[in-house]
Chain A
Amino acid sequence: MTTTTLAVLVPLLPFLGAVAILLVGRRAPGFVQPLAVLPVLASAALAVLVAVSQGGGETLSPGTRLTPTGSVPIDLAFYLDGFAVLVAVAVAVVATGVQLYSTGYLRDDPRYPSYAALVSLFTAAMLLVVYSGDLMVLLVGWEVMGVCSYFLVGHYWETAAARSASLKAFLVTKAGDVPFLIGLFVLAGEAGTFRINGILTAASSGDGLAHPTVTALLLLAGVAGKSAQFPLHTWLPSAMAGPTPVSALIHAATMVAAGVYFVARLLPVFTASAAALAVLAVMAAVTMAGSALAALAQDDIKRVLAYSTLGQLGYMTGALALGERGAAVFHLLTHGAFKALLFLGAGVLIHVAGTNSLAAMSRMPELRRRAPDAYWTMTVALLALAAMPPFSGFFSKEAVLGAAEHAALGRAEGVPAAVGWTVLAAGLLTALLTAAYATRLWLLMGVPGAPPATGSPAVDGTPATGTPAAAGGPDTPAPVAGARTGSGAPGTPDAAAPVAAGLAPDAPHPTAPVPVVMNAVLWVLFLPAAGLGATVGWLPGWFDGTSLAPTLVTSVLGTGLALVGILLTYATWRHTTALARTAPPVPVAAVPAHPGAEEPARSEAEAIATHEPAYGSVAAAADPADPGRLLLGRLHRHAAAGFHADRLWAALAVRPTLAAAALVRRADRDVVERAVRAVAAVPGLLGALVRRAQTGNAQTYLAALLAGSVLLAAAAVLLATGTGA
């Protein structure tokens, strides 16, 4: 088979798998798991084959005319270069891992067939985006991903958070997609083709594009929406209301990678405009620093990871702003590996702990023992996230920082030095912060030596208070067993009794084992997360050829700052834990309702649904032992709320829209509907009047008839008289 045939099969197989699942899923549930895993697995194998046969050499761009449109034709085309084949491998591998993981995670979910089909479809769409050599076909995959993310984020649609998060993800990305679509048309109109190679030729030819800045900025809006860059980033933390494998898929392989990948693919279009690069750099810098600060304040483990994704994507867009797509895609690959690992590990932890709250997890010293695989793989992944050598994240991040230094010193062609400085400064600051929140996450993740739960002394209190959580076995439907109480209140111990009672040693609870397949996936993903950095010398041959090896200055600077962050966080943590021991018990309303329930997804759905009632916020928790609280100081409150980006959007977009909707509704009800009713009422009234004439009295009818004819006759006579005279 030729490389092209193989490449056709790569997106096609998951798509066919999705169709097959949707067709047979209801009738033959036994076929769903193989249909979910095998096509994606085969697709991953084929992607590897395609990568090997392409080998980073000549770009393959076969194509066939899909439809003549009259002006700019649309082609079904591939554009297979080193970036495409490697990203496709990453996407397919991560998707395979996610599908395998989901077979365990959503084992007993009644909606598993549709879920698996959507994940396959999601993967197929992303692979289409990766391989497509025609922007219209790329757009198809791009929008299919948007729809799939809507459904998958809303998988737990019984909870209000998931419903609103799915809508938010859909609307925010669509808000970016509208300018994106316009940008595509502008681009195609100027280049005369939707083919990527044609556009690249047009962009790098003598006079280039007519309006490079406008085009690039329009496209950047869509990229910001998909890749969750400031200011369109707000959907990503909210999307944590979806199942954990979906989060892994969105963050590591598909959705958010699409934006970065798109820019990398059309980089000459963006580098043609210095303004676009500056905007990209500022966007990246704000996203990086802001998200790292916000990650430091989150209580939900998945939200920490979500904000960290924002930051890492910021690195990628920063690298793109420097014109260094090799570094960007390199970071995309390593980030895909370790972030998928982090999310899947977090899924295991949530399953075992029965909560997604770090404040509650930090009071579970048993956690590490009960989920050792997740603990150790996540430790490595966090080290990679913190860019500690020799793990993968170190190399890719140093590639970005090295490129930034390169540009800042004015050695990069066509990139303003200010862009370089911006990315460099933000990148170094983010390196410090990333290390800090990674350390915080690791420390709060159930490290030995952590203080016992503040509520644990009350375990031996009244049995009644302990009952709900202790009885929170698989057969108990009551999900919420926690309570939020005022700090230092006299009744606090009692009220906080159910908090960690579920994990107290003397209150054992039935624990279902973590499905083997979930742990296996963790270890499979562990390999690239740990060792992908080793490819640093080999990748430039696949990419543009520029060296990705770490330079000395940035390595020392970056790693040093990361170490500072780690140490600082550790010291703070020592301080806060000591403080928390001595301080009066403060309620931490962990909600381990179904810890280790039969089905992992169920405990997660309940954890998501109960976080806000228990803590009063979907993101933060009032935990005195949290080092992030001390580190951030006054900033903590704002950081926990994501620096009020949601509120900003609410004020800027949501409220005006709602007001306009209310106006329209009122206009509809008071004007249109009233007019319609009046239009109906007037004939009704006339009808009632005419009805009165229908007396049934033939004499009346005859009188009216004769009166009419007499009138006519009289009128005729008068008229004849008038004309005769």
Chain B
Amino acid sequence: MTATGPVPLATELLSAGAHAAGAQAPTAGANAMRTHAVTLAAEAGGRGFLSPTGVEIAFLLVGLVTLGAAIVTVTTRQLVHAALWLVVALGGLAVEYLLLTAEFIAWVQVLIYVGSVVVLLLFGLMLTKAPIGRSPDADSGNRPAALAVAVTAAVTLVWVVVDAFRTTWIDLDEAGRGSTAATGRMLFQHWVLPFEALSLLLLSALVGAIVLARRDGNGTRGRDGGRGRDDGGNADRDSGRDGVTEEQR
């Protein structure tokens, strides 16, 4: 009964967002409104939480796995395990993307996150001499506050989201919406300029990473940094970073 409040609020916000998104294509807004009307009308057609479809069940199961892996990622005391559980979580998310018919994004997710980012993180762990096995100080003293903040945020968000979207359904019937062809067309027709800007961002990130991680040749930083123990690891680090940046490209 108290939950009736946020509903108009959230739907209003969302429809406003839809209007804004479809500003240059008036049909989009009308489309959204029509979808909305359809979903609302479909509610009467027997769809509900108690009668899930096959996609929903699959989504739910994969979601549970993803969430569990994510929770393990942020709670485990074994640092390398955390990275590996992150692989599971990100892979689960890729499956979710697939279930949401965004296949290109799913593959990109697998390629970039699972393929490169996690490898990069593992390299980072190795280079910072992360202990293999359980490390007792993986969590900082901030943990209770973090827990409180996270739980509060979770409760608030879930409540609002459930309140807002409990009568909203996604129509997954449209085929090829997230296909590579559609996405490529979309990217290079409508989003070329941001895409190019992003390439500049990546370039500057590359340069910045090199500048930051580079070791000075005259050894002024050797005193406080390496203390003469990782001359051998230097080459590894450089090559690893090179590999990462290649993968990123």
Direct A–B contact in the complex, CB atoms closer than 8 angstroms: yes
Q: Per-position contact with A for B128-154: 1 when CB-CB < 8 Å, else 0?
A: 000000000000101001101100110
A720 CA to B4 CA in the complex, in Å?
10
Would you call B159 an interface residue if the criterion is a C-beta within 8 Å of the partner chain's C-beta atoms? yes
Binary contact track A690-702/B, C-beta < 8 Å → 1, others 0: 0000000101100
A710 and B152 within 8 A (CB) = yes
A660: interface (CB < 8 Å)? no
Known A700-B142, A725-B1: A717·B149 in contact at CB below 8 Å: no
- Among B3, B140, B156, which residue has its beta carbon within 8 angstroms of that of A714? B156
Pick the most buried of A699, A700, A724: most chain B CB atoms within 10 A of its CB.
Answer: A724
B2 within 8 A of A: yes
Does B226 touch A at the CB level, under 8 Å? no
- What's the minimum C-beta distance from A599 to chain B, rounded to whole angstroms? 78
Q: Hey, which chain B residues are within 8 Å of A553, CB to CB?
A: none
User: Which of A704, A721, A723 counts the most chain B CB atoms within 10 A?
Assistant: A721
Provide the bound-state CA to CA distance between A706 and B4, in Å. 27
Instruction: Find the A residue at minimum CB distance from B3.
Output: A721
- Whether, in the assembled complex, A713 has its beta carbon less than 8 Å from a beta carbon of chain B, the answer is yes
Is B115 on the interface with A (CB-CB < 8 A)?
Answer: no
- Kindly state whether residue B6 has any CB partner on chain A within 8 Å: yes
A717 adjacent to B145 (CB under 8 Å): no
At the interface, yes or no: B5 with Cβ under 8 Å from chain A?
A: yes
Cβ-based interface call for A534 (8 A): no
Interface of A is mostly: helix
CA distance A714 to B1 in the complex (A): 18
Known: A710-B156, A714-B152, A714-B156. A720 touches B5 (CB 8 A): yes
Q: Assess whether A723 is in contact with B149, with CB atoms less than 8 Å apart.
A: no
Q: Which residues of A contact B6 (CB under 8 A)?
A: 717, 720-721, 724
Once the chains bind, are A707 and B2 in contact (CB under 8 Å)? no
Interface 1/0s, chain A 80-123, versus B by CB < 8 A?
A: 00000000000000000000000000000000000000000000
Q: Are B159 and A706 in contact (CB under 8 A)?
A: no
Q: Which residue of B1, B140, B156, B159 contacts A699 across the interface (Cβ within 8 Å)?
A: B140
Q: Which one of A704, A710, A717, A724 lies within 8 Å of B8 (CB-CB)?
A: A724
Contact partner, A725, options B5, B145, B149, B159, Cβ 8 Å: B5
- For the complex, give the distance between the alpha carbons of A697 and B142 in Å: 10
**Which of A697, A707, A720, A721 interacts with B149 by CB under 8 Å?**
A707
In the assembled complex, how far is the CB of residue A697 from the closest CB belonging to chain B, in whole angstroms?
Answer: 7
CB distance from B69 to the nearest CB of A (A): 23
> Complex formed: what's the CA distance from A699 to B146 in Å?
9
B70 at the interface (CB under 8 A from A): no
Tell me the bound Cα distance from A714 to B149 in angstroms: 12
Using Cβ atoms and an 8 Å threshold, which residues of chain A touch B244? none
A703 touches B156 (CB 8 A): no
A708-724 CB mask vs B (1 if < 8 Å, else 0) is: 00110110010011111
Q: Is B206 among interface residues, defined by CB-CB distance under 8 A?
A: no
Distance in angstroms between the alpha carbons of A713 and B160 in the assembled complex = 10
Known contacts A706-B149, A724-B4, A724-B9, A717 near B156 by CB under 8 Å: yes
Shortest Cβ distance from residue A719 to the other chain B in the assembled complex, whole angstroms: 9
In the complex, what distance in Å separates the CA atom of A714 from the CA atom of B3? 14
A697: B residues at CB distance < 8 A: 140, 142
| B159 and A717 form a contact (CB under 8 A) | yes
What is the size, in residues, of chain B's interface with A at 8 Å between Cβ atoms? Answer: 19
Shortest Cβ distance from residue B60 to the other chain A in the assembled complex, whole angstroms: 26
B1-24 CB contact bits vs A (8 Å, 1 = yes)? 111111011000000000000000
Q: Is the CB of B5 within 8 A of A723?
A: yes
Collect the chain A residues with CB atoms within 8 Å of residue B160's CB: 717
Interfacial chain B residues near A706, Cβ < 8 Å = 149, 153
Interchain CB contact (< 8 A) of B156 among A704, A713, A722, A723: A713
Please count the residue pairs between chain A and chain B whose beta carbons lie under 8 angstroms apart in the complex. Answer: 48
The distance from the CB of A693 to the nearest CB of chain B, in whole angstroms, is 12
Interface of chain B, main secondary structure: helix
CA distance A723 to B6 in the complex (A): 10
Q: For the complex, give the distance between the alpha carbons of A439 and B41 in Å.
A: 135
A interface residue count range (under 10 / 10 to 19 / 20 to 34 / 35 or more): 10 to 19
- The one of A699, A707, A714, A724 in contact with B148, judged by C-beta atoms closer than 8 angstroms, is A707
Q: Which residues of B contact A723 (CB under 8 A)?
A: 5
Which chain A residues lie closer than 8 Å to B1 at the CB level?
725
Mask: chain B, 99-114; 1 = CB below 8 Å from A; 0 = not: 0000000000000000
Q: A713-B156, A714-B156, A724-B9 are in contact. Are A703 and B142 (CB under 8 A)?
A: yes
A654-705 CB contacts (< 8 Å) to partner B: 697, 699-700, 703-704
Is there an interface contact between A725 and B152, defined as CB atoms closer than 8 Å? Answer: no
Q: Which residue of A lies closest to B146 (CB)?
A: A703
Q: Which of A703, A711, A714, A721 contacts B5 (CB 8 A)?
A: A721
Whole-angstrom distance between the alpha carbons of A697 and B8 in the complex? Answer: 41
- What residue of chain B has the Cβ atom nearest to residue A714's Cβ? B156
Nearest CB on B from A205, distance (A): 92
Q: What residues of B have a CB within 8 angstroms of the CB of A724 in the complex?
A: 4-6, 8-9
Q: Which residues of A contact B140 (CB under 8 A)?
A: 697, 699
Minimum distance in angstroms from A479 CB to a CB of chain B? 75
- A720 vs B1: C-alpha distance in the bound complex, in angstroms? 13
Interface residues of A in 500-545 (CB under 8 A from B): none
Q: List the B side residues contacting A699 at CB < 8 Å.
A: 140, 142
- Whether the pair B142, A721 counts as a contact (CB closer than 8 A) is no
A694, chain B: closest CB distance, angstroms: 15
Q: Bound complex: CA of A704 vs CA of B140, how far in Å? A: 15
Please, which residue of chain A has its CB at the minimum distance from the CB of B142? A699
B9 shortest CB reach to chain A, Å: 6
Chain A residues with Cβ under 8 A from B156's Cβ? 710, 713-714, 717
| Interface contact A710-B149, CB-CB below 8 Å | yes
CB closest residue in chain A, given B148: A707
* B4 A725 Cβ-Cβ under 8 A: yes
B147 to chain A, nearest CB (A): 10
Do A720 and B9 touch (CB < 8 A)? yes
A725 engages B2 (CB within 8 Å): yes
Known: A697-B142, A713-B156. A703 touches B149 (CB 8 A): yes
Shortest CB-to-CB span from A709 to chain B, Å, is 9
- Smallest CB separation, B7 vs chain A (Å): 8
Q: Which residues of chain A are near B5, meaning CB under 8 Å?
A: 720-725
In the complex, the chain B residue whose C-beta lies closest to that of A722 is: B5
Q: Give the docked Cα–Cα distance between A703 and B142 (Å).
A: 8
**Distance A723 CA – B3 CA, assembled complex (angstroms):** 12
Q: State the CA gap A707–B3 with chains docked (Å).
A: 23
Chain A 235-258 per-residue mask, 1 if CB under 8 angstroms from chain B, else 0: 000000000000000000000000
Shortest distance from the beta carbon of A565 to any chain B beta carbon, whole Å: 103
Considering the chains assembled together, what is the distance between the CA atoms of A713 and B155 in angstroms?
A: 11
Q: Do the beta carbons of A721 and B148 come within 8 Å of each other?
A: no
A residues near B8, Cβ cutoff 8 Å = 724
21 A-B contact pairs sorted by A residue (CB < 8 Å)? A700-B142, A703-B145, A704-B145, A706-B153, A707-B145, A707-B152, A710-B149, A713-B153, A713-B156, A717-B6, A720-B5, A720-B6, A721-B6, A722-B5, A723-B5, A724-B4, A724-B5, A724-B8, A724-B9, A725-B4, A725-B5
Other A-B pairs, 16, CB within 8 Å; known A707-B149, A714-B152, A725-B1:
A697-B142, A699-B140, A699-B142, A703-B142, A703-B149, A707-B152, A710-B149, A710-B152, A710-B153, A711-B152, A717-B159, A720-B5, A720-B6, A720-B9, A721-B3, A724-B5
Interface residue ranges, B against A (CB under 8 Å)? 1-6, 8-9, 140, 142, 145-146, 148-149, 152-153, 156, 159-160
Sorted nearest first, the 5 A-B pairs with minimum C-beta distance are A724-B5, A721-B5, A703-B145, A710-B153, A707-B149
